[in-house]
Amino acid sequence: HPKALLRSIQEEGDYLKSLESQHIVSSDQFNRNTLLQLFRLAAKYESNPERYSTPLKGKILISAFYEPSTRTRLSFESAWHRLGGDIMSITDRATTGIAKGESLGDVAEMFNNYGDCVVLRDSNENSVQEMMHSLRIPIINAGNGIDEHPTQSLADLYTIFKWKPELLVSAEKKITLGIVGIPNKMRTVRSFLKLLSFFPEIFEEVLIIHDGSNEAIFDENQLEQLQQRGLNVTVTTRFNDSLPNLDVVYINAIAWVGNDYESFGESFILNSQSPLKKDAIILHPLARGEELDTDLDSTAHNWYFAQARGAVFLRMALLTCMSQRMERVMDVI
Ligand code: CP
C-alpha cells in the first residue's frame, strides 16, 4: 500500500521547504501540495522501514507530555530515534517546576538551552501559544485540549490515501466518509476536517454523526469555512441508517476538557454485526472505549491499527522536513 501511494504522487517542487521554518500548531498551516509531498515522503519511509538516513543525529527532542498518551508520544519518540536523534522525555508535569508555579514561558525559555525541538501535549489549549512566545526552537502541537491534534490528522489522511491511492489520480472516484464525533469538542475531528477540506473533490459527502445532545456541534463559522472550501458536510444523528452508505467510518469517543476527559457517543457501538459496507474501512485515533468492539480487529474493516503504525512514518517525514530549521536555530544561538 505505501508503494502504491508512492507511485501515485509525483515528486514536485520545494513544497516541503515551507515546513523548515514552522512551528506545527494547526492543520490550517498545511496546503494541498505540501500534504501530498509529505505523504510521499512518509510512504517512502514506510516502503523501506529498515533503510533511512539519520538527519537528526546529534539533535535532541524534548518530549513534553503533560497529559496521558500512548501513541503520540511513543510514535514521535520512535520516529526521532529512527532518524538518529536523542530524546529527553517528561511524562508528568508534577516532576517539573510547573508544580511549583513556574510559568510555561519560563519553562520554554529553558527548553531553548536543552533541545532542538519540543513536542508538547497538554490539556490546556493555550499551552502551545504560551510556550511559542519564548521558544527559539520549533514546537509541535501533539494535542492541546479540545483544540487541535494536527499530526494525528496527518496520519489519518495519509491512511485514507494509502487505502485508496486512486483517489488522487481519478476524479471519478469519490468516497463517503462518516465521522462519529463532535468537531467542537474533539481535537482529532477538528484537525481532521481541516485537512479534508484541502481535498474536497474526493468526497461525495462528509457526514458528521452525533448523539443529538445539546452540545454545539461546530464552533462559530467552523461549518461555513469547511463548506466554503468545497467540502460537502452534512450532520445527522442516524448512526445505523448511515453505516451502509459509508466507505470510511472515523469513530472517536474521547474529548479532553480541562484536566479530564469526557466520553461521547455511548449509543454508537461498532462491532462485527454493524451494517457496514463490505469493503468499508474503520479509522479510530485510539485509545478505544466501548464504541469499537475488539471483534472487528481481525476483519478487513480494521484500518485503525495501520493508521497508528503509519503515524510513525508520517512523523518521520515531518521531522525530517523540520530538521533544517533546527540546524539554523542552533547556528543563531
Ligand atoms: N491518537 C492519540 O492521540 O493517541 P494517544 O492519546 O495515545 O497519544
Beta carbon of 197 within 6 Å of any ligand 1 atom = no
Q: Which pLDDT tens digit goes with each residue over 168-213?
A: 988 778 999 999 999 999 999 999 999 999 999 999 999 999 988 7
Does residue 264 contact residue 216 with C-beta atoms inside 8 Å?
A: no
d(CA 66, CA 70): 12
The C-alpha cell at 133 is: 512566545
Per-residue pLDDT tens over the stretch 48-84: 877 778 889 999 999 999 999 999 999 999 999 999 9
Name which residue sits closest to atom 4 of ligand 1, judged by CA.
71
Q: Which of 66, 72, 73, 149 to mutate to test the pocket of ligand 1 (most atoms within 8 A of CB)?
A: 72
For ligand 1, the distance from its centroid to the CA atom of residue 228, given in whole angstroms, is 30
Ligand 1 in reach of 85 Cβ (< 6 A): no
Position of cell 465521522? 179
Whole-number Å distance between alpha carbons of 286 and 308 = 8
Does the beta carbon of 143 sit less than 6 angstroms from any atom of ligand 1? yes
User: What's the distance, CA 303 to chain centroid?
Assistant: 15
Phi and psi angles of residue 236, each rounded to the nearest 5 degrees, phi first: -150, 160
Q: Are strands 248-251 and 175-180 parallel, antiparallel or unpaired?
A: parallel
Does the C-beta of 60 come closer than 6 Å to ligand 1?
Answer: no
SS3 state of residue 328: helix
Judged by average pLDDT, the poorest of 57-66, 214-223, 310-319 is 214-223
Q: Find the 63 Cα to ligand 1 centroid distance in Å.
A: 14
Q: Tell me, what's the pLDDT at 332?
A: 47
User: Is the CB of 69 inside a 6 Å radius of any atom of ligand 1?
Assistant: yes
* Distance of alpha carbon 326 from alpha carbon 333, whole angstroms: 11
Please tell me if the CB atom of residue 71 comes closer than 6 angstroms to any atom of ligand 1.
yes
CB 269 near ligand 1, within 6 Å: no
The rounded distance, in Å, linking the Cα atoms of 141 and 149 is 7
pLDDT of res. 328: 43
Decide if the complex's ipTM is over 0.90: yes
CA–CA–CA angle 304, 188, 173 (5° rounding) = 60
Q: In terms of Cα–Cα distance, which of 278, 85, 285 is closest to 180? A: 285
Torsion, CA 210, CA 212, CA 216, CA 219, rounded to 10: 30
**What domains can be seen in the chain, in order of their start residue?**
13-148+311-332 (3.40.50.1370), 150-308 (3.40.50.1370)
- Asked if 207 and 177 count as a contact pair (C-beta separation under 8 A), the reply is yes
Q: What is the pLDDT of residue 218?
A: 93
